[in-house]
Amino acid sequence: MRFPTPLFDANATGGNQFGELPEWDLSDLYTAEDSKELRRDMAWLETECADFAQSYEGKLASLDAEGMLQAVRRYEEIDVIAGRIMSFAGLRYYQMTTDADRAKFMADCQDKITAYTTPLVFYGLEFNRLDDDHLSGLIAQNADLARYKPVFDRMRAMKPHQLSDELEKFLHDQSTVGASAWNRLFDETMAGLEFDVDGETLNLESTLNLLTEQDRSKREAASHALAAVFQNNIKLFARVHNTLAKEKEIEDRWRNMPTPQTGRHLSNHVEPEVVEALRNAVVKAYPRLSHRYYRLKAKWLGLDRMETWDRNAPLPMENTRTVDWAEAQKTVMDAYGDFAPEMAELAEPFFSKGWIDAPVKPGKAPGAFAHPTVTTVHPYVMLNYLGKPRDVMTLAHELGHGVHQVLAAEQGELLSSTPLTLAETASVFGEMLTFRKLLEGAKTKEERKVLLAGKVEDMINTVVRQIAFYDFECKLHDARRSGELTPDDINALWMSVQAESLGDVFDFHEGYETFWAYIPHFVHSPFYVYAYAFGDGLVNALYAVYEEGDPDFKSKYFDMLKAGGSKHHKELLAPFGLDASDPAFWDKGLSMIEGFIDELEALES
């Protein structure tokens, strides 16, 4: 069963120095946790799962094409209802992860749905035992069934790795006390952490935000506060990582997965050699990208050496004003509308209908995400808006996800979900449109320099930093196979990739070795992080095609987003003359970052 998860009440608004910030209206899912509609759907789900198993278990091989289509559609409807319930429960929880009632409601929903859907485990296993020629024959007879072939291909890619029916049911049944329980422990711990910065008590999001302050002493104080709290909790975070990595190793071993990354590659429908080509191209480019840029930045900051708290510091000439919500909305909507009016039309309901939750609130999950929910409803975007220019880019990013999810919903529940490698396409493209719009409006050389530097930093964070994260995960999972890892062991792995990726201009303050502890992707989605670099490289190459003036670019672009998960990345990129399996493809994407750094160096002369 696929429950929608985030790449993270009444339609109230919160007023503060940023203007009226929107909050979610979740009533399009359910009006309340005890609503009659939710109770109805939960009861239907229990009955339908049992009926589905009774109708089809042991019988899939005997179905004709029409019967198989009916089975697939019934399974899809179960997926919709289960996803709708869990989306509602999850979004309420993310609004206030420290609320015990919300946490209990989500856990109870997960327990019930896991129990109800356990009888469905047979479906994928039995489907994968179908003879290839028999399945091909059914698909050839029915065009509606043939639509689902990409789903079948992804299911059957797992065929060599599936276990016995009994073991698969056991793994499904105990999932709520496995990884998901450790995920919840991590989330609730993170949301409850408090950081003392110069006598002020802050949550994680607000403390991380200080790392982008103009005042260097504030950045330093925030870094030391983060390090102190992470160190105080480091044994717990090490336990979470050790347990999840060991659990993954056990399951991977039973499934005969050749590497810890294989499961992610299969779910992303991407070949390992493509990811390896991406990783190698980025690592090879470290000296030309991050090392070169940060040496430039050190000079701008008047520093011989940089500390990690200087990495995301604003430039000295940067305007430190905050951006209110109305201006952020207009900036992004204008950029989207200039590219294509229909893109702005798709984005507008997010602002007007309670599809965005923007304020920073006690207990709210940190970060930002776009949650697709289910294809019969609409996505929801979560932000922690603090009025920084980077928050405007985050809005552009998450809104891109939202637009992508709305367009892909046309494919239906089973075909709409885009593999992670392509899931970042619209979000990064939305950022690029917004950046280009701002760059066009730059009135001075200094303003242009600030914008270019900000974009380069965002791209380095998206490409270089995420590939460094990927290498850290690879090292961690590999090391865990040899035994339990102490916090010091994990710290050492973290530092090995940080120095390599950031360059020799950096010093690393005591305590920075623990900063792996707060990265949620390592816990929630092992090896997810390369998708960000994949998406950035892909969008850079796409944008180059756009700038070259392809007259059909916009229609091709919308077709790609509408395809959702119905096509392989080769098929989606072919109309643009691009091929991600070609190593030169990644160099093309990385050259755009180099070009921006070249321009920054030229502005110095």
115: number of CA atoms within 13 Å, CB side?
A: 10
pLDDT digits (tens, 9 = 90+) for 87-124: 999 999 999 998 999 999 999 999 999 999 999 999 99
- Structure tokens, 578: 């691009």
Between 342 and 579, residue with greater pLDDT: 342
- For the beta carbon of residue 6, count every other beta carbon within 10 angstroms: 25
pLDDT digits (tens, 9 = 90+) for 311-350: 999 988 887 678 999 999 999 999 999 999 999 999 999 9
Q: Are 278 and 534 in contact (CB under 8 A)?
A: yes
Residues 6 or more apart whose CB falls under 8 angstroms from that of 477 comprise 245, 248, 249, 260, 526
Q: Residue 17: pLDDT band by 50, 70, 90 thresholds?
A: confident
297: number of CA atoms within 13 Å, CB side?
A: 30
Would the pLDDT of 354 be above 60?
yes
CA separation for the pair 31, 70 (Å, rounded):
31
| pLDDT (mean) for 383-399 | 92
CA separation for the pair 326, 336 (Å, rounded):
15
- Structure tokens, 67: 């019967």
Closest by CA to 359, choosing from 325, 394, 401, 402, is 325
pLDDT digits (tens, 9 = 90+) for 244-255: 999 999 999 999
Closest by CA to 365, choosing from 106, 200, 188, is 188
Highest mean pLDDT among 4-13, 162-171, 350-359, 582-591: 350-359
* High-pLDDT (> 90) share of the chain, %: 77
Between 419 and 221, residue with greater pLDDT: 221
Closest by CA to 430, choosing from 399, 408, 460, 406, is 399
CA separation for the pair 120, 2 (Å, rounded):
12
| pLDDT (mean) for 13-18 | 59
Radius of gyration of the chain (CA): 24
CA separation for the pair 18, 20 (Å, rounded):
7
Query: How long, in residues, is the chain?
Result: 605
Would the pLDDT of 73 be above 50?
yes
Q: Which amino acid is at 261?
A: Q
In the block, residue with structure tokens 């065929």: 159
Q: Residue 366: pLDDT band by 50, 70, 90 thresholds?
A: confident
Q: Are 120 and 49 in contact (CB under 8 A)?
A: yes
What confidence score (pLDDT) does residue 292 get? Answer: 97
CA separation for the pair 46, 78 (Å, rounded):
10
Overall fold of domain 32-177: Butyryl-CoA Dehydrogenase, subunit A; domain 3 (1.20.140)
Q: Which amino acid is at 165?
A: D
Would the pLDDT of 434 be above 50?
yes
Would the pLDDT of 261 be above 80?
yes
| pLDDT (mean) for 19-25 | 94
What confidence score (pLDDT) does residue 1 get? Answer: 38
| pLDDT (mean) for 62-82 | 98
What confidence score (pLDDT) does residue 143 get? Answer: 96
CA separation for the pair 239, 493 (Å, rounded):
16
CA separation for the pair 193, 204 (Å, rounded):
7
Phi, psi of 13, deg, nearest 5: -130, 150
Q: Are 306 and 295 in contact (CB under 8 A)?
A: no
- Structure tokens, 17: 């120095």
What confidence score (pLDDT) does residue 6 get? Answer: 43
What confidence score (pLDDT) does residue 605 get? Answer: 64
Q: Which amino acid is at 193?
A: L
| pLDDT (mean) for 489-498 | 97
What confidence score (pLDDT) does residue 319 get? Answer: 74
Phi, psi of 369, deg, nearest 5: -160, 165
| pLDDT (mean) for 131-154 | 95
Return the H-helix or E-strand segment holding 307. strand 306-307
Q: Residue 16: pLDDT band by 50, 70, 90 thresholds?
A: low
| pLDDT (mean) for 576-582 | 88
Q: Which residues pair with 201 in a beta bridge?
A: 196
| pLDDT (mean) for 144-167 | 91
Q: At what angle do helices 216-232 and 234-254 cross, to 10 degrees?
A: 60
Work out the burial of residue 126: count CB atoms within 10 Å of its CB; fewer than 13 is exposed, 13-18 middle, 19 or more buried: middle
CA separation for the pair 202, 196 (Å, rounded):
6
Q: State pTM to two decimals.
A: 0.82
SS3 407: helix
pLDDT digits (tens, 9 = 90+) for 502-531: 999 999 999 999 999 999 999 999 998 998
pLDDT averaged over the chain?
92
What confidence score (pLDDT) does residue 398 get? Answer: 97
CA separation for the pair 349, 394 (Å, rounded):
18
What confidence score (pLDDT) does residue 4 get? Answer: 41
What confidence score (pLDDT) does residue 604 get? Answer: 79
Q: Domain residue spans in the chain?
A: 32-177
pLDDT digits (tens, 9 = 90+) for 269-312: 889 999 999 999 999 999 999 999 999 999 999 999 999 999 99
* High-pLDDT (> 70) share of the chain, %: 97
**Segment among 66-70, 215-219, 540-544 with least mean pLDDT:** 540-544
Highest mean pLDDT among 384-388, 398-402, 577-581: 398-402
Sign of CA dihedral 250, 251, 257, 263: negative
| pLDDT (mean) for 180-195 | 93
Closest by CA to 401, choosing from 373, 379, 432, is 379
Would the pLDDT of 256 be above 70?
yes
